[in-house]
Structures are given as C-alpha cells and as structure tokens.
Structure 1
Amino acid sequence: MNKKRRLALAIGAGIAPLLVVSLPVSPASAHGYVSSPPSRQAQCAAGTIDCGPIKWEPQSVEGPKGLTSCSGGNSQFADLDDDSKAWKVTPISSSQTFTWRFTARHATSNWQYFANGQKVAEINGNGAQPPAEVSHTVNFGNVKGKQKILAVWNIADTANAFYACIDVNIG
C-alpha cells in the first residue's frame, strides 16, 4: 500500500467518528397522532401549550397496548397526563370526526375511542397499513359535557399502541 493511500485511510478513520457524533440527530420518523380536533400533543407541537419534548415528536406517544394514559406510559411525555394544564377544549356535537396523521404507517389492528373510561367506538384496521391520514366519525350517544377523549391506535404486528387525548365539550 502506498504512503498516500495509507495517509488518506488514517485521516478518514480519524474523522469518521467525529462526524458521527457531531451530525444532528433527527427525531424518529414514527408514528401517529390525532391532528383534528387538536389532541394534546398536537397542541404541544403547535406551541399552544408548553409541554416539553413532545413538542418535537407529537407522533411518538407509544406504549404497551391496554393503557389509559395520554402519555402512553412514557415518562418523558408526562405533561400530556397533566389535566391542570390549559388544554384547548374543542366544542363538538354528539357525532365527531377525528383525523389521525401518520408519519410511519404500521399494520393496524384497530382504533379505539374512550370517553369517561368507557369505549364508545372501535374501528377495525383489518391488519392493513393506513394511508397518511385517516378519519373516523365517532358517535358519543348520550355522553355530554366536558370530556377527555382517549384515542388509541393498536398496531397489528407489535405489542404496542399509540395514544392521543383530545379535550372536548360535547354539546
């Protein structure tokens, strides 16, 4: 091996680790959240409410299936569980369309919607990968007044789900 080639390899080997640690890290390009009406993480991303790191990753509220928390059990997103924050409450009728925005589209078992801890709707995903946005119309029946709606996207091929809470006033 000639001298110039060895020198180039040595310089490259010395610079490569510096480049790796100095390049900016982009957030995970995953997964999904309710964008309309604005969920708590959508409000954080828009700067409506000050809520820490979820501002940069509204789509990342992921946790094991079966949870009932807005944060999906993720401590770094605990602000989403804080009911004392000034969350914007959206007035809705007894039938409302919810729109999910996906940044990574996973095969879907189902979507579930809860009010007062009771399931009010479940939409089958048939194991299919959704498009970039999906809308569901949920009928709340006789549920009225200020509610925290828990929307859950259950993934078909993992033990995880994505969580979003939406503050509404059902009139």
Structure 2
Amino acid sequence: MSARRKAAVATAGLVPLALTGLSAAPAAAHGSMGDPVSRVSQCFAEGPESPKSEACKAAVAAGGTQALYDWNGIRIGDAAGRHQELIPDGKLCSADSEAFKGLDLARDDWPATRVSSGEYTFKYRVTAPHKGTFTVYITKPGYDPSQPLAWDDLDLANPVATSTDPAATGGFYTFTGTLPERTGKQLLYAVWQRSDSPEAFYSCSDVAFGGTGTGTGGDGGTGTGGGAEPAEAAAPAPVASAPSQGQIEDGADKSTVENHGHGDDDPSTSAAPHAAADGTAPDASGTANRPEAAGAARNLAETGGDGNTPYLMIGGAAALALGSAALFASARRRTASGRHGR
C-alpha cells in the first residue's frame, strides 16, 4: 500500500473516533446536604441493602436501593432557577425523579438532626465541585410531616441561608445561616443552583427543634457538634447520622453507569472533572473528583470552570480530522483523474 493510501486510511479512521468523542467526554456531579444530613444521605449511611429506620426501609421498598447509592445525584439538568415550575408539590425531595420517589414519602418518623434556633453551620457534602449558589429554606410553623411536602409549606420569602461560591474543606462546602424559632419536626430544603450550568441539585433534611438557643451546627455525624440542649424532648424520630468517607468510597462502585458516584452523564450540564489537589488531571476512574482528605484546605468553588471547554477541544479535533479526510479524498480524485486521462 502506498504511503498516500496508508495516510488516507489512517485519517478516515480518526473521523468516527473524533465524532464519538463529542458525546463521550466525562461528566461530574455532585452532592447532598451533609449537616443537617439529607434523607438520601441518611438512608445511604444506614446501608442501602438493610436500612435500620422504618422510614428508610419504606423508601427502599418504594424506590429500590439504587437511589441510595446515587445519593449525590438528585438533580435537574436544565433547571436554570425554574425550581417551582419543574417540581410539583409532593415531589420536592425527589426533584420529581421517579428513581428517588421513596424520599417523598410523607411520614413523621424520618431520622432527624436535633437543632436549636439561632446561628447554624451548614455542611454540604460534595463529590464534584461547581460554582453556584446554595439556598436553604425551612418549613413554616405548623408544618405537618405526615402530609406530602408542598412548596407552600416552605417559607420561600425568608431563606435561612444563602451562599454563593462558599469555600470548602475536607469535601464539604461550609456556610452559615440562622434558624428561626420553631418547635418539633421541621424540614430544611436545600437548592444548589450552578452558575456555570443550568443544572441544580436538591435535598431534604429533617430536623427536630426542642427549646431555643444559639448553636453552631447539628450532630448529624459530620463533626460540627450540637447546639444547646433542648429544654424539652424533641419530636420522636431516630437521630440522623451522615455517611462516613469510607461508606461513600465503598458505595461508589455500586452507583449507576450514569452516576458512577459523581452524578449524571449529560454533557450539556456538567463541567469538566475537577483536577486533583496537586493540579494533575483526574484519572479515568474519576478519583480526583472525590472529597479531599479532612483538613485539606481548598476553595472548591474556584474549580467550576466552563463545561464547554472539553467539547470545543474535541470538536476541533473532529473538524481537523474531517478536513484532513476531505483533503486526502480530493487528492485521490485528482490522481485517479490523471490516470484515466492517460
């Protein structure tokens, strides 16, 4: 085979490869509230195959175990702030996702983090960072956990916390807010709206108020400590406990093909994978997307980046390959024409 023909064949082989890459670039997602622990994180911590609390058992019975392994993927890819428009009443905790429908069960025995009115330090567990804004809402006085959660149950006019691009350490975005006066069982609804994409993430955290006082965080198993001891018994519910780093790592390989422990595979809504702490690119397993070791200081919000970059690069490679193929095809036609003309 001539050198020219070999080159033409090789270039033709690059075209489908480059075009395939347009849809094969890796995606990254994302997280869930860690303190006060979200429902999905709580049930994952209990163990998807054999949860301990009655509420988590019911959630698995309704939606299966896979939702718990995909605990960091409750999201809407094209939300763009249209949360109330896209999520109907009664499906807030699942973000209207059939896969997570067990989290919408209306019952008063969801494991709850004990809290007090006053300042609170929120910790959002992140497995892949993105720029964006966290907004946390609380249910209104008189909230009945035995009824399906509706938008009107939330005090949307007065979020208890709002934070844009907070700093993070040890795999958590950390920001402060203020919990108002409440009694008994309440619910905190967290929305993480990305600014580098229309994608948004959602989580429901059950909390139990008992008495008042200033606290620095709940005892959701994340090491922040509790607030003042309640003056009276909190609403009856198991105490919540967030999953450990070991549990998260052990369960990552059981997440779905789409999630891989890091969320969706929708290239239109996912930023490039987060680089490792030493600046190196993540490997094929996505290891660099995992939370950094406790105590490792890093502003994860600074790594949001532009999700279009890898696709522009791949698109350029495809265009180059197509152009080269056309060039070789043209040369072959001219050569063939010359031969036929002899």
The residue aligned with 1:80 is 103
The residue aligned with 1:161 is 200
CA change 1:60–1:85 in 2 (3 A) is farther
Contact 1:143 1:170 in 2 (8 A): yes
Give the drift of 1:151: 1.0
Give the drift of 1:89: 1.6
1:41-56 equivalences under 5 Å are 41-46=40-45, 47=47, 48=51, 49-50=56-57, 51=60, 52=64, 53-56=66-69
> TM-score normalised to the size of structure 1?
0.72
Q: How many aligned residue pairs are there?
A: 143
> TM-score normalised to the size of structure 2?
0.38
Match of 1:143 among 182, 185, 210: 182
Moved more, 139-148 or 72-81: 139-148
The residue aligned with 1:94 is 117
Q: Which amino acid aligns with 1:58?
A: W
The residue aligned with 2:155 is 118
Paired residue secondary structure (1:60): coil
Which structure: larger Rg? 2
Q: What per-residue deviation string (whole Å, max 9, x for no partner) do you get for residues 50-95 of structure 1?
A: 3322211110000224246011121111111112274202211113
Identity of aligned residues (%): 30
CA RMSD of aligned residues (A): 2.4
Q: Give the Cα separation in 2 of the matches to 1:60 and 1:37.
A: 18
Moved more, 149-158 or 44-53: 44-53
The residue aligned with 2:131 is 107
Contact 1:100 1:135 in 2 (8 A): yes
CA change 1:161–1:170 in 2 (3 A) is same
Structure 2 unmatched ranges of 5 or more: 2-26, 140-153, 211-342
Q: Which amino acid aligns with 1:55?
A: L
Contact 1:148 1:166 in 2 (8 A): yes
CA change 1:138–1:129 in 2 (3 A) is closer
Paired residue secondary structure (2:191): strand
Give the drift of 1:98: 2.0
Give the drift of 1:136: 2.4
Runs of 4+ in 1 over 4 A off after TM superposition: 128-131
Moved more, 130-139 or 111-120: 130-139
Contact 1:32 1:100 in 2 (8 A): yes
Structure 1 unmatched ranges of 5 or more: 2-27
The residue aligned with 1:60 is 73
Give the drift of 1:169: 1.1
